[in-house]
């Protein structure tokens, strides 16, 4: 009888302890099921007006409709994307997302002192888009060098060469130019600006004679003739710009072709079920023909069907390539 009573008492105490623990520490699963429980912030690590900013503002109202909570786009530019990326990596509220690019990841290999590890502190959730990229010049320079091959020759005709309008030595635009130029042989000096708008203005003013950018960011200037795309950074011509030759067609380029993309990340503390929820909802939007058309027509790129596993694998594979390229370039972290 005493043994039975003792056993009953132990079971009662264990049940009570379990109930108290459940009240004190609600499960992540339950929290994830209810997510989001407050406004969600999508951080962009560049200034307003960029392709990433435009993409976030296309996605935000549609995600807001799915999540039944306000979705706020917040620009946190600085240090070639490091400021905004670090901010999200350190967020612990469970409702802060990053819409990032390679510039969110590559500082791990391009910066001597980085206060966070983007590969460890950020979780890839979903690749949203692969952007088009072009090498472009301004109308003044195009009048003297109407092809990329001519531009290379022009750059070698003076000791100083040309000025490359960029957004920082570790930005995807500057790094892409550095990689491509291993084969191009363009003589240039980089002049860097705080944002893409200032970079474009420098090209228009002839403070820079060459740049790498997305066609969508300079679309109006391409249409007016003020900026001239000379080559597509692609293995095939872009369907919306069939007259722009590929690098291979323009100069016989056969090297690595950098691909600019944008994707959603969350801090590593984010529960797996929340990651899956965000991924599923972005996949839903990618499958919406109207959303796809708006993104692709506005941003000159291709909407991607993705997942956390697929996006993570792509980043891992790309990191291997970039590390090899940095070694070949004898790139020294700043």
Provide the pLDDT for residue 33: 61
Residue showing tokens 């959303």 = 291
> Distances from the Cα of 70 to the Cαs of 42, 66, 126, 281, in angstroms?
11, 10, 20, 15
Over 70: is that where the pLDDT of 148 sits?
Answer: yes
Provide the pLDDT for residue 24: 41
- Mean pLDDT to the nearest integer, 225-230: 98
pLDDT in tens, 13-66: 444 344 444 444 344 444 446 899 999 999 999 888 888 999 999 999 999 999
Provide the pLDDT for residue 5: 47
pLDDT in tens, 158-168: 888 999 999 88
Using CA atoms, how far apart are residues 18 and 12, in angstroms rounded to an integer?
Answer: 10
> Distances from the Cα of 242 to the Cαs of 32, 205, 230, 319, in angstroms?
46, 27, 12, 31
Provide the pLDDT for residue 17: 43
Question: Phi/psi at 119 (nearest 5 deg)?
Answer: -75, -25
- Alpha helices (H) along the chain: 2-24, 28-34, 51-67, 82-89, 102-105, 107-110, 118-121, 139-142, 148-155, 172-184, 196-204, 219-224, 247-251, 272-286, 289-299, 308-328
Using CA atoms, how far apart are residues 202 and 130, in angstroms rounded to an integer?
Answer: 26
> Distances from the Cα of 13 to the Cαs of 6, 18, 25, 278, in angstroms?
11, 8, 18, 40
Q: Which residue ranges form the domains of the chain, and what is each CATH number?
A: 35-130+261-328 (3.40.190.150), 134-251 (3.40.190.10)
* DSSP state letter for 79: G
Query: Residue 256 CA to chain centroid, in angstroms?
Result: 19
Task: State the pTM of this model.
Answer: 0.84
Using CA atoms, how far apart are residues 308 and 107, in angstroms rounded to an integer?
Answer: 21
Provide the pLDDT for residue 265: 98
pLDDT in tens, 57-116: 999 999 999 999 999 999 998 888 899 999 999 999 999 999 999 989 999 998 888 999
The DSSP code sequence of 196-222 is HHHHHHHHHTTS-SBEEE-GGGGHHHH
Provide the pLDDT for residue 48: 85
Q: What is the overall mean pLDDT for the chain?
A: 90
| Nearby residues of 19 by Cβ (< 8 Å), 6 or more positions away | none
| Nearby residues of 113 by Cβ (< 8 Å), 6 or more positions away | none
Provide the pLDDT for residue 27: 41
The DSSP code sequence of 209-274 is SBEEE-GGGGHHHHHHTSEEEEEESSSS--TT-TTSPBHHHHH---S-----EEEEEEETTS-HHH
Provide the pLDDT for residue 328: 85
Partners of 262 in beta bridges? 129
* 86 and 80 Cβ atoms separated by less than 8 Å: no
């Amino acid at each position: 009888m005493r043994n039975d009573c003792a056993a009953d008492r132990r079971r009662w105490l264990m049940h009570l302890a379990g109930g108290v623990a459940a009240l004190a520490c609600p499960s992540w699963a339950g929290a994830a099921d209810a997510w989001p429980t407050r406004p969600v912030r999508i951080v962009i690590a560049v200034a307003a007006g960029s392709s990433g900013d435009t993409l976030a503002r296309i996605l935000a109202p549609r995600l807001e409709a799915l999540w039944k909570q306000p979705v706020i786009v917040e620009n946190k530019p600085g240090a070639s994307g490091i400021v905004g990326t670090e901010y999200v990596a350190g967020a612990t509220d469970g409702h802060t997302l990053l819409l990032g690019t390679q510039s969110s990841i590559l500082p791990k290999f391009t910066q001597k002192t980085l206060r966070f590890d983007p590969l460890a502190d950020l979780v890839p959730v979903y690749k949203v888009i692969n952007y088009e990229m072009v090498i472009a010049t301004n109308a003044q320079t195009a009048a003297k060098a109407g092809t990329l091959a001519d531009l290379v020759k022009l750059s070698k005709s003076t000791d100083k060469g040309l000025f490359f309008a960029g957004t920082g030595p570790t930005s995807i635009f500057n790094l892409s130019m550095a990689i491509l130029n291993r084969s191009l042989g363009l003589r240039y000096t980089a002049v860097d600006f705080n944002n893409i708008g200032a970079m474009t203005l420098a090209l228009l003013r002839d403070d820079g004679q060459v740049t790498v950018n997305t066609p969508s960011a300079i679309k109006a200037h391409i249409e007016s003739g003020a900026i001239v795309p000379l080559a597509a950074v692609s293995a095939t011509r872009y369907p919306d710009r069939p007259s722009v030759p590929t690098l291979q067609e323009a100069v016989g380029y056969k090297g690595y072709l950098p691909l600019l993309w944008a994707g959603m990340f969350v801090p590593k503390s984010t529960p797996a079920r929340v990651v899956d929820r965000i991924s599923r909802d972005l996949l839903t939007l990618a499958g919406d023909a109207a959303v796809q058309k708006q993104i692709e027509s506005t941003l000159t790129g291709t909407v991607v069907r993705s997942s956390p596993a697929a996006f993570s694998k792509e980043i891992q594979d790309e990191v291997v390539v970039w590390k090899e390229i940095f070694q070949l370039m004898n790139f020294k972290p700043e």
